[in-house]
């Protein structure tokens, strides 16, 4: 019996000593910032993966990683012997069918038209004279009929010559346009075997080597602007409704440890990544570091709200349901405001004069 009493006494003393060792603190007044966490990478502005427009074997790579290129510069050439021959044949056909190349045929018909017109005018003049003579009873009916037949025949010949000229002109124009279109198509197909840059920028990475086969599905290089960079951040779906364009961001990078860079939310991609359950946010630098590289990792806090001179307590002291321990073992409900990863704003329930106790984990 005495032993049981001693155990209870020792237990009471132990609990009392533990109670005396509970961590306590007072609410303090300080600034608080509520933010949304995001992680991501640095990307070159206009950074994109270069794809080939045709399947083929790499004949020659004309650039190296780190080279500056201009829009339209050829980066890689593919083997395209057959397409080059097709282009040459198309050019020969286009030259042969050109209007200028068929000018002699048109000139020949123009001469025929002029001769037919002269004969028509002469035959019509003779017919009119014969008609006038017949009106005065000079000549014969046969002579009049013959002159009339000659006039009609030469008129028909003149109209036929003009029609032949018009038809030949249309045919030549059609063949010239058709041949030109065939040439343009062949040239475009030929150009597809030259992989070009779409922007002024830097070659950051070459993904293929000479002699390798390329297709239209796999990229061959990565190019981007070498003078402007942005952030591509991932935000959890639970926080996306709090993020707005124009909000400030505090960002840090492993390559610049201890430094914080200011950015702005510039774009919110409107579709969620189903695999990661996150949204992609694009941010621009307010004052970027002097040296940046694509794919540098970063962590960021998107600032939602800020308050100054607020009453705050450590988040570790807040119980579920917005309660705190007051006077060691007395729970009291508080009204909370902004929260960051370490502090909670207190709007009511306690004051800066109250001690609160950290709950035992």
pLDDT tens-digit profile of 78-92? Answer: 876 555 555 566 565
Average pLDDT on 336-350 reads 87
Decide if 23-45+228-357 and 47-78+193-225 have a common fold: no
Check whether 12 has a pLDDT greater than 50. Answer: no
Domain regions of the chain by residue span = 23-45+228-357, 47-78+193-225, 81-192
Fold of the domain built from segment(s) 47-78+193-225: OB fold (Dihydrolipoamide Acetyltransferase, E2P) (2.40.50)
> What is the model's pLDDT at position 183?
64
Write the secondary structure of the chain as one string of H (helix), E (strand) and C (coil): CHHHHHHHHHHHHHHHHHHHCCCEECCEEEEEEEEEEEEEEEEECCCEEECCCCCEEEEEECCCCCCEECCCCEEEEECCHHHHHHHHHHHHHHHHHCCHHHHHHHHHHHHHHHHHHHHHHHHHHHHHHHHHHHHCCCCCHHHHHHHHHHHHHHHHHHHHHHHHHHHHHHHHHHHHHHHHHHHHHHHHHHHCCEEECCCCEEEEEECCCCCCEECCCCCCEEEECCCCEEEEEEEECCCHHHCCCCCEEEEEEHHHCCCCEEEEEEEECCCCECCCCEEEEEEEECCCCCCCCCCCEEEEEEEEEEEEEEEEEEHHHCECCCEEEECCCEEEECEEEEECCCEEEEEECCCCCCCEECCCC
Instruction: Kindly state which CATH superfamily the domain 23-45+228-357 is placed in.
Output: Efflux pump adaptor protein, beta barrel domain (2.40.30.170)
> What is the model's pLDDT at position 1?
46
Check whether 127 has a pLDDT greater than 80. Answer: yes
Percent of the chain with pLDDT over 70: 85
> What is the model's pLDDT at position 13?
46
Instruction: Determine contact, residues 169/106, Cβ cutoff 8 Å.
Output: yes
Q: Tokens in use for 157?
A: 């010949």
Query: What are 250's strand-pairing partners?
Result: 262, 301
Instruction: Determine contact, residues 62/74, Cβ cutoff 8 Å.
Output: yes
> What is the model's pLDDT at position 89?
63
Q: Tokens in use for 91?
A: 């050019």
Instruction: Determine contact, residues 235/278, Cβ cutoff 8 Å.
Output: yes
> What is the model's pLDDT at position 242?
92
Least confident of 93-97, 133-137, 218-222, 242-246: 93-97
Percent of the chain with pLDDT over 90: 42
Query: What are 234's strand-pairing partners?
Result: 39, 280
**CB within 8 A of 258, min separation 6: which ones?**
none
**CB within 8 A of 336, min separation 6: which ones?**
318, 322, 344, 345, 346, 347
Average pLDDT on 281-302 reads 93
Strands 356-357 and 56-61: unpaired
């Amino acid at each position: 019996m005495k032993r049981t009493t001693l155990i209870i006494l020792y237990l009471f003393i132990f609990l009392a000593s533990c109670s005396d060792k509970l961590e306590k603190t007072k609410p303090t007044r300080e600034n608080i910032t509520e933010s949304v966490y995001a992680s991501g990478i640095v990307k070159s502005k206009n950074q994109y993966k270069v794809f080939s427009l045709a399947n083929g074997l790499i004949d020659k790579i004309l650039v190296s990683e780190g080279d500056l290129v201009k829009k339209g510069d050829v980066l890689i050439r593919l083997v395209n012997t057959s397409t080059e021959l097709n282009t040459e044949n198309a050019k020969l056909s286009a030259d042969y069918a050109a209007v200028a190349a068929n000018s002699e045929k048109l000139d020949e018909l123009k001469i025929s038209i002029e001769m037919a017109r002269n004969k028509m005018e002469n035959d019509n003049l003779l017919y009119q004279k014969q008609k006038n003579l017949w009106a005065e009873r000079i000549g014969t009916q046969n002579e009049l009929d013959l002159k009339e037949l000659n006039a009609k025949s030469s008129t028909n010949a003149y109209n036929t010559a003009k029609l032949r000229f018009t038809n030949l002109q249309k045919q030549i124009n059609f063949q010239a346009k058709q041949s030109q279109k065939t040439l343009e198509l062949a040239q475009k197909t030929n150009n597809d075997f030259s992989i070009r840059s779409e922007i002024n920028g830097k070659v950051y990475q070459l993904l293929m080597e000479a002699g390798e086969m390329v297709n239209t599905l796999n990229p061959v290089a990565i190019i981007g602007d070498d003078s402007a960079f942005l952030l591509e951040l991932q935000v959890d779906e639970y926080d996306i409704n709090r993020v707005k364009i124009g909000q400030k961001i505090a960002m840090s990078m492993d390559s610049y440890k201890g430094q914080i860079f200011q950015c702005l939310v510039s774009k919110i991609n409107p579709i969620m990544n189903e695999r990661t359950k996150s949204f992609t946010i694009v941010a621009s630098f307010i004052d970027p570091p002097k040296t940046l590289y694509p794919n540098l990792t970063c962590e960021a806090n998107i600032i939602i709200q800020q308050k100054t001179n607020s009453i705050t307590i450590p988040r570790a002291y807040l119980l579920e349901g917005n309660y705190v321990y007051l006077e060691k073992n007395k729970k009291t409900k508080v009204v909370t405001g902004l929260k960051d990863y370490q502090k909670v704003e207190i709007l009511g329930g306690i004051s800066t004069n109250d001690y609160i106790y950290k709950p035992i984990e």
